[in-house]
Every structure is written in structure tokens, then in C-alpha cells.
Amino acid sequence: MTTPIGSGILAALALTSVALAGGNDNKNNPASEGAPVQGGVTAQPGKGITFTGEGYELNLSNRIQVNLGYTAMEFGEDTLGVSIRRARTKLSGSSYKDTVHFLMQFEWADGDTADIIDALMMWDFMKSDDMTTSLRFGQGKTLYGTEATGSSSGLEFIDRALATQAFANERSRQAQITGKMSGGKMRWNAGILNNDVAKAAPGVNDDNNNGSNELNWIAGLSVGSGHDALYGEGYKQGALKASEELMWVANGAVSYGTNDRNEPGVGSEYDALNINAGGAVVSGHIHGLAEVFYRSDSIDSGAGIETKAFGWQAQGTFTADPGPSVQWGGGLRASGISVTDATQVGVGGIGAFAPGFGLVGEGDIFEIEVVMSAFYAGHNLKTQFGYTFQSVKPDVGVDATNHTLELQSQIVF
């Protein structure tokens, strides 16, 4: 049985295919790119289809990431195979004199044909030439973490860094107030979340309403040169267009709250404090990003059990000038996680924070990654080849060294 949501999205995808097919008739005529298809409809490679009207705009786009990966495990079975890392449909736009913005995004890669990962309404209730204050209401990114907040479509590496995947990289149902001032050089957010901000936390449950009266709160601040390309969800990594002036951003965020533990048979709650600081810079052909994370958990079990963890990452990349058909880029990234005081409780000995990647309990994980990228149409059409060296050193147990080779392609249409 087809759900109404599924029917609507399938119809939208069909419309995308028809419109793009019609646009291909003039693909050898540069002057025709982005020309209206009919009335207020435009179709552009990498941007999908945009419908415009009086006080209204709707953009429909799709993204596919396909990955061929091989992992050699020191302990455990090696893996080799093709996977679809992401397959998404996004509808975004604005209405009511460009003061109300909306975002809906669907994920198809996990086989769930009705998985809404974003459903946000953003209302600019105070707006002037130098300042905007908005309400962010619904389900979406928590705005915690430099790399996690930026789009996964704009990554220069195969995926986000080890630390980001553990300490951030989560969505939540939320109500936040966001703002920018001084021409965008200062931006901030503050509000409440149903969910923990850390992907590795046992309380993450982004797709559901809150089952109790306990919430998380979050506050963040960013300052910098004011270039939109480096801020928030519009942030795409790299210097694909060489910067003639220094562009930079520095940001910090803190989140604290009480969460339910989701493991069967574990009824306790835990309090989590999360702190993040980071930044990015672009100069000429060089892009750099660095950030640190700190997390402290206190489990409500009557035993005063706590877990503390620290994470960090740093990366640098160089992107050459565009060639006749391809633009080359390369980079190096290092990332690490250290977990201390991880007393294990509950069913199966599960603690409050478990970063995975082969680490259970206290210990350290370190990764170093090398990537080479071929950009055919910027981030919208690219192929990347990466190698990851991973070292896992538990305080109790045997050290392990793992190696991963990946080839990944992405298209946005």
C-alpha cells in the first residue's frame, strides 16, 4: 500500500525527471542553462527544479552518494562491498513575502520510504538590513558542531570526522531562536531540544516526540568574516573558488539536559553536558577546519556513575584551479576520541556514552585520513578516493589497527 507521503514524493520525483529530460534538449547551449521551462519554473544541474510565484518559492532537489569500500580488520571479518550512503530528496523554499522558510528532507537509503529526517519551519519575525531574528521549529539539525551543522553534500572527505560522528551529527525535534547581526558577522542560536546532540549517546531518538517532561537546552555563538559560505547549514568545505581575501569563522556551543536511556530493561535517565568549540578558514586555494568536543554524563542510577569523553579533529585541504573537465583536490585529516571514567552499567554493560568504532569502555581511538577528490561540477558532481588508518586502544583489552579504502561518487540533481 502506498502512503500519501510516498505518493507525493514519487510524483515529485517523476516531475523532476520530466523537467530535467526536457532541459537536456538544450544542454549544448550555455545560454539556455537555468532558462524558464514554463512560467515560474526553472531547472538547473545541481540545483533541481525551482517553482516561483508571487511571494513563494519551492526548490526540489535530490542527492545520491554511492560508496565502494574495503575494510581490513585486525580482529573480526574484513568487509568489501557497494553501499548507498545517502539517497535523499529535499524540498525547501520560502513563502509569505520571504519571511517564512521551510525544509522537508526524506532519506531513502535505509529502505524506509517514509523517513522524514528534516521537517522545519523558520519564521523571520524580526528583520532589518543589518539584523534577522528567526524561530526555528520542527525536526532538523541541532546546530551543534562546526562540521556536523554543514551539509554532508559539501564534505571534502568521504564522510564526517571520527569525533563529529560520535559527539555531534544528530537531529532533534526542537524550538530554537536564531539570529544574525552586523551584516552576518555574528550569529547565534538558543532553545530546547527533545534529543541529545551526540550520535553515540544512548538517548538519541530524533524521529519521535519526547516521552517525558525532560528536555535538553542548547546555546551557540559564531563570529567571523561574515561570508555565508562558512556558516551553518549552508557551509560547504573547500576552496573550489580561490578566495582573494581571508574568510574565517569561530564558533562555540553548549548543550545540557536529561535524557531517557533507550536500551531494553534500562529505565534510568542520564544528564549530559556537551561543549564544542571550532572554526574554519579559507585562504586562496587552502581550506582548514578544526574543532574540539567535551562531554560529561551522569547516570541517574543512585550510584553516582559518570562518564567523561574528549574528542578533536583537524583537517587541511588544497583545491587546484578548475581544469578543462575536472578540478582536483586533496587533503589530510586527523581525529581522535578519549573516553575516561566509563563505568559500565545496565543490560549488557552499556555505559552512558559509547563511541563505537571498536571501543567499549575507557580508551582511545585515533584516525588519520588521506583523500583525493575529482570535482566535475563542484560538490554537486564529484568522485573521491580515501584511505583511513584507525588505531583502537582500550584501557582493558587488546589494541587493534584497522585500514579502510573507499571510492565514493555523489550527484545532486
Statement: residue 271 has pLDDT above 70: yes
- In this prediction, residue 54 has a pLDDT band, given cuts at 50, 70 and 90, of confident
- In this prediction, residue 304 has a pLDDT band, given cuts at 50, 70 and 90, of low
Q: Write down the pLDDT at residue 303.
A: 57
Task: Report whether 108 contacts 98 (CB < 8 A).
Answer: no
Statement: residue 300 has pLDDT above 80: no
Task: Report whether 193 contacts 218 (CB < 8 A).
Answer: yes
Cβ count near 284 (within 10 Å): 13
Mean pLDDT in residue range 99-105: 96
Q: Write down the pLDDT at residue 301.
A: 62
- How many Cα atoms within 13 Å fall on the side-chain side of residue 61? 19
Question: Is residue 43 classed as helix, strand or coil in its secondary structure?
Answer: strand
- In this prediction, residue 111 has a pLDDT band, given cuts at 50, 70 and 90, of low
Question: Is residue 141 classed as helix, strand or coil in its secondary structure?
Answer: strand
Q: What is the DSSP letter of 345?
A: B
Average pLDDT, the chain: 86
- In this prediction, residue 205 has a pLDDT band, given cuts at 50, 70 and 90, of confident
Q: What is the DSSP letter of 169?
A: B
- Cα distance between residue 410 and residue 211, in whole Å: 37
Mean pLDDT check: name the lowest of 85-89, 119-123, 268-272, 324-328.
268-272
Mean pLDDT in residue range 89-97: 93
Mean pLDDT check: name the lowest of 41-50, 105-114, 140-149, 347-356.
347-356
Q: Write down the pLDDT at residue 91.
A: 97
Mean pLDDT check: name the lowest of 237-241, 249-253, 267-271.
267-271
Helix (H) or strand (E) holding 130: none
- 16: its cell numbers: 523532476
For the stretch 116-159, pLDDT in tens is: 999 999 999 998 888 999 999 999 999 999 999 999 999 999 99
DSSP code string of 282-322 = EEETEEEEEEEEEEEEEE-SSS-EEEEEEEEEEEEEEEPPP
Statement: residue 13 has pLDDT above 50: no
Bridge partner residues of 169 (DSSP): 198
Mean pLDDT check: name the lowest of 94-98, 174-178, 221-225.
94-98
Q: Write down the pLDDT at residue 8.
A: 41
Read off the pTM.
0.87
Question: Is residue 155 classed as helix, strand or coil in its secondary structure?
Answer: coil
Class of domain 4-27+34-412: mainly beta
- In this prediction, residue 55 has a pLDDT band, given cuts at 50, 70 and 90, of confident
Phi/psi-derived region of residue 304, left when phi > 0, alpha when psi is between -120 and 50, beta in every other case: left
The b-or-e profile of 347-365 (16+ CB within 10 A means b, else e) is eeeebbbbbebbbbbbbbb
Question: Is residue 347 classed as helix, strand or coil in its secondary structure?
Answer: helix
- In this prediction, residue 60 has a pLDDT band, given cuts at 50, 70 and 90, of very high
Phi/psi-derived region of residue 226, left when phi > 0, alpha when psi is between -120 and 50, beta in every other case: left
Task: Report whether 359 contacts 203 (CB < 8 A).
Answer: no
Residue for grid cell 530554537: 176
Domain extent listing, the chain: 4-27+34-412
- Cα distance between residue 161 and residue 250, in whole Å: 18
Q: What angle do CA 272, 171, 217 make, to 5 degrees?
A: 40
Tell me which long-range contacts 77-85 makes (C-beta under 8 A, separation of at least 24).
84/109, 85/109, 85/159, 85/408
Q: Write down the pLDDT at residue 21.
A: 36
- 179: its cell numbers: 539570529
